[in-house]
Chains A and B, each alone.
Chain A
Amino acid sequence: MDQKLDHELVHSGHVACPGCGAVLAMRYVLNVLGPKTILVLPACCWSVITNRFPSCSVKIPVFHTAFETAACVASGVRAGLDMKGDRDTNVLAWAGDGGTFDIGLQALSGAAERNDDFIFVCYDNEAYMNTGIQRSSATPFGAWTTTTPKENFKHQEKKNIMGIMAAHKVPYAATASVAFPEDLMAKVARARDLRGTRFLHILCPCPTGWKYSSDMTVGLGRAAVNSRIFPLYEIMDGERFRLSYDPEEPMPAADYIKMQNRFSHLNPEEIVAVQQRTDRDWERLMHTIRSWPA
């Protein structure tokens, strides 16, 4: 078959929710990085998806660590390996949006500023899903979560983590979506072949937290990109930009919103506001990409 992966490094029998986008992300990333990879895993859904002792659902070494520490532990693992003469093994920090945007941001900023040599993947399901769907700074405007109930849904926009990483001038930062696996894997390959702090922001739809039927995970990953709410692009050294995909059939934000019950309380004005923000952000991104091409 065309799309059989070279390395299937995730076992069946893991305890992720049916339709979990984060598992797809792990499969694709590990397919490119291969078995010579060490996973640094802070508190997040994947802490659980690796399953209970004595079994583990990934076929590579895993160090479970505290919530805030993905980036600095990864720095340490890299330093330790280097001192042992191992420059080949990939060090992969694998954090959710909480462990990247919020509690993990300090360590990530520190490592990025030092340009420590590892790949940091933020697999973003847009809330603290593992602890039961509480809001994070990655939760988009308008979303219901348990800490932003519909009477007081999230009013802040999603934090621009790519902008933050660009400000650190890391060698490579890119967005990706599990619905575009070829693009995602090409980006992992590019990251793999560079040195320094490499950052991937992967959108992983979550049936449990976004409240949709589990079969639509890939469809939503596609809709997020086609509605321009989650554009696919790369930033090199914080200052050169490349658009990965210009949606051939752009989708209105309203259509994306209607696919998920976490937005079911939004009224038409609020949905229009989402479209306006999306258009504005897209315009700004396009302007940046045109002004600073790769």
Chain B
Amino acid sequence: MKEVLMGDHAVARGVQLARAEVIAAYPITPQTLIVEELSEICARGDLKAKFIKVESEHSAMACCMGASMAGARTFTATSSHGLLLMHEILHWSAGARLPIVMANVNRAIAPPWNLWCEQTDSLAQRDTSWLHIYCENNQEVLDTAIQAFKIAERINLPVMYVLDAFILSHTAEIVDLPDQKDVDEFLPPFTPKLRLDTNDPHAFGSITGPAEYQKLKQFRHDDMMNSIDIIKEIDAEYEKKFGRGYGVVTPYRCDDAELILVTSGTVSGTARVAIDALRDAGVAVGALKVRLFRPFPTEDIAAAIGACPKVAVIDRNLSVGAGGIFAQEIKAALYNRDLRPTVIGIVGGLGGGDFTPAAIEKIARRALERADSGDPVVWEEL
């Protein structure tokens, strides 16, 4: 059934449909609409869940860990500083192999205060063993909100899906909501593989020696790498049932492109408009949306890029002292391959700048003109 929903509300409705059982969350702009909507949903009894109004995001994630270890399907949401505050526990919950799902609204980090869209907050968590999924529009947010639980519970790793601050979180779009019955068929109740059970007592996370510790990390890495196929499988299943699938990357008019623009989040949608305009003008450009960031889908990206000689990555984020993070990861992923395009790292839109179609066209034309990659960071002022 179609409704007009802001991105935050799409998250809330997705969580409701997925029948989360324990929610522990702390408000932060622009995630607040998620927790407010969920509070109302729970208060009305439309979702049978415990909503714990914790006193900080660090406690929120820790609380989710406890609930998940007790065998409950668990959810939280945050943004920016809240996510940063959770950092320690992101590592912990992933190390504990708990299938917690979190929505993060990508917002810039202070100082100075800035509430608008930037991806550095979530990307700074890339080493925490959480899966990252970057959503382009509110429909995708809703669908990912449901898929995320199935993925997490299948592989026993937590999943974070992100949406752009204000551009999605507070912007209404048409969202098609599936029926609860169908969602229940797609996503049965959570049956944990690990649980705190007095009938079968174990200690989880005791001091462990170097050999076993490394083994655990290796298992975790292998499981995450193997999850790419699982994500695709679940996405295909979702598409079969609900008519919408997203894959892990989405190429657009890349086949004979001289230049491929790599994007994530809402920029991806805008990029396709720009690509169409450029193609109409005879410019051979394509766009590649990266949906899955962790695990990093090297093969899919390489396949999409193919023999294209030049790639311009648009990063709405920055690892200071190195460069845009998607650009870093793509360069690393392609380095050992036979086909190595020139990779231009474009950084712009930090603190909320707006990528218009015209801006993206300009980026593409300038990139085409470049002989080489240039500086590691090519700044774009919007």
A and B touch in the complex (CB under 8 A): yes
Q: Which residues of A contact B (CB under 8 A)?
A: 35-38, 40, 47-48, 50-53, 56, 58-66, 68-69, 71-84, 89, 106-107, 109-110, 113-114, 116
Which residues of the other chain, A, contact B55 by a CB distance below 8 angstroms? 106-107, 109-110, 113
Which residues of the other chain, A, contact B89 by a CB distance below 8 angstroms? 66, 69
Instruction: Give the CA-CA distance A217 to B91 in the complex, in Å.
Output: 38
- Nearest opposing residue in chain A for B202, CB measure: A61
Contact among B22, B196, B197, B212 for A79, CB-based, below 8 A: B22
Contact, CB under 8 Å: B72 / A80: yes
Which residues of the other chain, A, contact B197 by a CB distance below 8 angstroms? 61
- Nearest opposing residue in chain A for B59, CB measure: A72
Contact, CB under 8 Å: B92 / A66: yes
Contact among A38, A80, A106, A107 for B68, CB-based, below 8 A: A80
Q: Is B303 an interface residue (CB 8 A)?
A: no
Contact with A along B161-204 (1 / 0, CB 8 A): 00000000000000000000000000000000000111011111
Given the interface contacts A52-B209, A53-B209, A65-B92, does A79 sit within 8 Å of B52 by beta carbon? yes
Contact, CB under 8 Å: A60 / B66: no
B53 to chain A, nearest CB (A): 7
Contact, CB under 8 Å: B65 / A65: yes
Given the interface contacts A75-B66, A76-B65, A83-B22, does A37 sit within 8 Å of B88 by beta carbon? no
Instruction: Give the CA-CA distance A80 to B74 in the complex, in Å.
Output: 9
Contact, CB under 8 Å: B59 / A83: no
Which residues of the other chain, B, contact A62 by a CB distance below 8 angstroms? 201-204, 206
- Nearest opposing residue in chain A for B70, CB measure: A80
Which residues of the other chain, B, contact A74 by a CB distance below 8 angstroms? 66
Contact among A64, A83, A109 for B203, CB-based, below 8 A: A64
A–B pairs, 16, beta carbons within 8 Å: A50-B206, A52-B206, A61-B203, A63-B65, A64-B204, A65-B92, A68-B62, A69-B59, A69-B62, A73-B63, A73-B65, A75-B52, A78-B70, A82-B50, A83-B67, A84-B71
Contact, CB under 8 Å: B198 / A89: yes
B340 to chain A, nearest CB (A): 42
- Nearest opposing residue in chain A for B89, CB measure: A66
Contact, CB under 8 Å: B196 / A38: yes
A48 to chain B, nearest CB (A): 7
Given the interface contacts A61-B202, A69-B59, A107-B55, does A80 sit within 8 Å of B67 by beta carbon? yes
Contact, CB under 8 Å: B59 / A66: no
Instruction: Give the CA-CA distance A59 to B58 in the complex, in Å.
Output: 29
Q: Is B45 an interface residue (CB 8 A)?
A: no
Q: Is B121 an interface residue (CB 8 A)?
A: no
Instruction: Give the CA-CA distance A279 to B53 in the complex, in Å.
Output: 41
A218 to chain B, nearest CB (A): 28
Q: Is B49 an interface residue (CB 8 A)?
A: yes
Q: Is B69 an interface residue (CB 8 A)?
A: yes
B165 to chain A, nearest CB (A): 26
Contact, CB under 8 Å: A76 / B56: no
Which residues of the other chain, B, contact A59 by a CB distance below 8 angstroms? 201
- Nearest opposing residue in chain A for B206, CB measure: A53
Q: Which chain B residues numbered 1 to 56 have a C-beta less than 8 Å away from chain A?
A: 21-22, 24, 48-50, 52-56
Q: Is B207 an interface residue (CB 8 A)?
A: yes
Which residues of the other chain, A, contact B24 by a CB distance below 8 angstroms? 72, 75-76, 79
Which residues of the other chain, B, contact A79 by a CB distance below 8 angstroms? 22, 24, 50, 52, 63, 66-67, 70, 72
Contact, CB under 8 Å: B201 / A61: yes
- Nearest opposing residue in chain A for B73, CB measure: A83
Q: Is B157 an interface residue (CB 8 A)?
A: no
Q: Is B301 an interface residue (CB 8 A)?
A: no
- Nearest opposing residue in chain A for B72, CB measure: A80
Contact, CB under 8 Å: A107 / B62: yes
Contact among B62, B202, B206 for A51, CB-based, below 8 A: B206
Contact, CB under 8 Å: B208 / A53: yes
Contact, CB under 8 Å: B65 / A56: no
Contact, CB under 8 Å: B62 / A80: no
Contact, CB under 8 Å: B54 / A75: yes
Q: Is B111 an interface residue (CB 8 A)?
A: no
Instruction: Give the CA-CA distance A114 to B59 in the complex, in Å.
Output: 13
Instruction: Give the CA-CA distance A248 to B32 in the complex, in Å.
Output: 58
Instruction: Give the CA-CA distance A74 to B62 in the complex, in Å.
Output: 9
Which residues of the other chain, A, contact B49 by a CB distance below 8 angstroms? 83
Contact among A36, A84, A110 for B54, CB-based, below 8 A: A110
Q: 6 additional contacts, CB 8 Å, given A52-B208, A77-B67, A82-B50?
A: A50-B203, A59-B201, A61-B198, A73-B65, A78-B66, A83-B49
Which residues of the other chain, A, contact B68 by a CB distance below 8 angstroms? 76, 80
Contact, CB under 8 Å: A37 / B198: yes
Contact, CB under 8 Å: B21 / A110: no
Which residues of the other chain, A, contact B321 by a CB distance below 8 angstroms? none
A240 to chain B, nearest CB (A): 26
- Nearest opposing residue in chain B for A36, CB measure: B198
- Nearest opposing residue in chain B for A93, CB measure: B66
Which residues of the other chain, A, contact B228 by a CB distance below 8 angstroms? none
Contact, CB under 8 Å: B21 / A80: yes
B188 to chain A, nearest CB (A): 15
Instruction: Give the CA-CA distance A55 to B255 in the complex, in Å.
Output: 57
Q: Is B288 an interface residue (CB 8 A)?
A: no
Contact with A along B234-258 (1 / 0, CB 8 A): 0000000000000000000000000
Instruction: Give the CA-CA distance A68 to B65 in the complex, in Å.
Output: 13
Which residues of the other chain, A, contact B203 by a CB distance below 8 angstroms? 50, 56, 58, 61-64
Contact, CB under 8 Å: B204 / A63: yes
Contact, CB under 8 Å: A68 / B66: no
Contact, CB under 8 Å: B88 / A75: no
Instruction: Give the CA-CA distance A52 to B55 in the complex, in Å.
Output: 33
The 7 tightest CB contacts between A and B, nearest first, are A76-B66, A80-B70, A110-B55, A64-B205, A80-B72, A69-B62, A80-B67
Contact, CB under 8 Å: A84 / B208: no
B97 to chain A, nearest CB (A): 12
Q: Is B64 an interface residue (CB 8 A)?
A: yes
Which residues of the other chain, B, contact A66 by a CB distance below 8 angstroms? 62, 88-89, 92
Contact, CB under 8 Å: B71 / A80: yes
